Amino acid sequence: MKKLFFVLILFFVGITTYSQNPSIVINQGPSEIVSCGSNTTCFRADPEPVEYTYSFFVNNDGRFTSQNGWTRSDAVWTATSGAHTSLQPTNPADKRLTWNNTPNSSARTIKVTFTYTKGDSTRSFSEEKVVIVKHIGPITSMTIAGASPSSPTNGSTVSVPCGANSFTISVSPPATDPASAINYTWSLPASWTGSSTTNSITVTPNAGGGGAITVSAKRADGNVARSYSVNVTRPAVESALINSISWSPDDKPLCTGETRQLSGAGSVNADIFTWSTSGGTSITGASNQSTVTVSGTSNGTLKLIASNACGISKDRTWNIYANVPQVAGSEVLVDGHPNYYPNYTSGSSYISVQGGGSCQSYKWELFGGSGYFYSGYCSCGYSYNGITFDNCNSGNASTSSSMAIRIRTANRCGQGNDVIIPLQVSGGGGYYRMSSPNPATTTISIELDKEKASSLNSLNLISATRSKIAQSFDVASAKSSNYFKTNNIVSFDVSNLDRGLYYVVLNFGENNQSFSELVMLH
């Protein structure tokens, strides 16, 4: 009996030693994302997001086969520090997964297990492989010399001073396990220059351009990149602002001998200031500082160009009122249109004087013709040369025929010029039109309707008071010489007449229908 037992033990050992059990080999098969190429590389793997598909085959010795009554279960895969992917491998027996990008502080393995079953007998077999993951940690910080902030966080915005001076950018090296050299790739904003494959780079920006700075780090033996990116802005000038210094209100006119200071220091991000003037405004002293001192002999403008080393400038222009008012005819609007002669009206018109600065006052007077006007009284009043200036800069006027209003001007510096506004009720009745410039200098011309010229009874140029005929057209002689058969324009030579207002008065037909036009000689 003892002898038989000994023989059985030897037989069992012999089976184990002879390796009669199936052997399992794990392979890394083709992947949709990356092909590792060889088993050695496959088990030294890149971390996520790189995916691997592992497969196995069984080197069976022929005992555990279906012919012998054995049934094999599905393979059971396990992986330490690995993550299953949402995609399934082509072969259900394979395993597709990614490896967590963490240090290899503990062994990572991939293991496959399956079981043979025959009746009440089961045999389990497994194969386990150690996987080394080529870990690369994040870039945790960036430093940009001279920037604000100088240590921006990943994905944030940083301001870099204007200009083209070179500066250095560096990032913290990411940790690796197993240790590995790191290759860096830098991306710079358009028109910036600089090159490096290390964690530090010296760049030369353009004067004012910004954009993204991005650095990407990879292990020398890996394919997974860790990146760090910031958006660069440059402090370009946002606007040019002009503010008065101890001068209120801003449009108060400068009188003879006075100066005023203005500042452009409120122009955001500006440190280069260029001032210029036009009209009667002059700069006293430097014109390239943040503040400027001006004087004036008449109205003008002050212009500021604000810029910095970014090369982008903004400008602003201010009106500077100076000395007594000098109101141009074009600065007077009649029913919204610039003042011109004779300012045809339907009988009532709205008149306004534009500009003029603070507390410019007026005196409205009937200067010719007949009609009514109202301008109201304003808070600023002056008295010069026996004239009280207390009317506003706008008002209403009405006439049934024609009238002229004289608007006299004054401000804190004294009495200014006068502006004449003639109003003429729309007329002509199809008999004529004024064809010469008005105001006139040398000639006044009237174009008669060709069909109605022969009905002209009289045509005279008379004074504004209608007390004297300045010139007269001889209608009788014109008709006797058949003048109107070939001509329909009548002209007066006014070059030798006194300057001022006149009326052109025309009479037509059996009823002696009368028309008049207000004209000015200047």
Q: How confident is the model at residue 391 (pLDDT cuts 50, 70, 90)?
A: very high
Task: Say if residue 359 is in the same domain as residue 413.
Answer: yes
The CATH number covering residue 477 comes to 2.60.40.3080
* Domain assignment present for 7: no
State the total domains in the chain: 5
Q: How many degrees, rounded to 5, is the angle at CA 503 between CA 498 and CA 507?
A: 140
Judge whether 504 lies within some domain: yes
Show the 3-state SS of 411-479.
ECCEEEEEEEEEEEECCCCCCEEECCCCCECCEEEEEECCCCHHHEEEEEEEECCCCCEEEEECHHHHH
Distances (CA, A) of 87 to 48, 150, 336: 14, 43, 75
Q: Please report whether residue 253 resides in a domain.
A: yes
Both 343 and 382 in one domain: the answer is yes
Residues 292 and 372 in one domain: no
> Residue 90: pLDDT band by 50, 70, 90 thresholds?
low
Neighbours of 131 (CB within 10 A): 21
Of 320, 351, 368, the one marking the end of a domain is: 320
Q: 152 in a domain, yes or no?
A: yes
Domain CATH code at residue 33: 2.60.40
pLDDT for 83 equals 64
43 shares its domain with 112: yes
Residue 368 lies in a domain: yes
pLDDT of residue 76: 84
Q: How many angstroms separate the first and last alpha carbons of the chain?
A: 153
Residues 128, 38 share a domain: yes
For residue 487, give both structure tokens.
Answer: 């001509």
pLDDT tens digits along 57-84: 777 677 788 888 989 888 888 888 766 6
Q: Mind listing the pLDDT tens digit for each residue in 188-244?
A: 999 999 999 999 999 999 888 899 999 999 999 999 999 999 999 999 999 999 999
Q: Which two tokens stand for residue 29?
A: 């098969």
Q: 164: which residues sit within 8 A by CB, 6+ positions away? A: 204, 205, 206, 207
356 with 417, same domain? Answer: yes
Pair 476, 460 in one domain: yes
Please report whether residue 479 resides in a domain: yes
Provide CB contacts within 8 A for 80, sequence distance 6+.
Answer: 106, 107, 108, 109
Residue 235 has a pLDDT of 93
Same domain, 124 and 156: no
Q: Looking at this protein, which amino acid is placed at residue 92?
A: P
Q: Determine the pLDDT at residue 328.
A: 82
Would you mind telling me the total number of residues written for the chain in this entry?
522
pLDDT at site 326: 86
pLDDT at 9: 28
Q: 9 lies in a domain? A: no
pLDDT at position 274 is 97
> Which residue in the block uniquely carries the two structure tokens 């004209």?
519
Q: In terms of domains, do 118 and 26 share one?
A: yes
pLDDT bin (cut points 50, 70, 90) of residue 31 is very low
More confident residue, 411 or 42: 411
| Mean pLDDT across 106-114 | 81
Q: What is the pLDDT of residues 146-164, one digit of tens each?
A: 999 999 999 999 999 999 9
Residue 433 has pLDDT above 60, yes or no: yes
Q: Supply the range of the domain harboring residue 400.
A: 329-424
Are 420 and 431 part of one and the same domain?
A: no
Q: What is the CATH number of the domain that holds 307?
A: 2.60.40.10
Give the pLDDT band of residue 459 (cuts 50, 70, 90): very high
For residues 35 and 126, state if they share a domain. Answer: yes
pLDDT bucket at 22, cuts 50 / 70 / 90: low
Asked, for residue 501, whether it belongs to a domain, the answer is: yes
**Last residue of one domain, picked from the residues 68, 102, 133:** 133
Model confidence at 452, in pLDDT bands (50, 70, 90)? confident
**Tell me, what's the pLDDT at 29?**
38
User: Mean pLDDT of all residues in the chain?
Assistant: 85
Q: What is the DSSP letter of 199?
A: S
Residue that is last in its domain, among 395, 424, 453: 424
Q: What pLDDT shows up at residue 38? A: 44
Tell whether 104 and 189 lie within a shared domain.
Answer: no
Q: What is the reported pLDDT for 24? A: 57
pLDDT of residue 15: 22
**Does the pLDDT at position 37 exceed 50?**
no
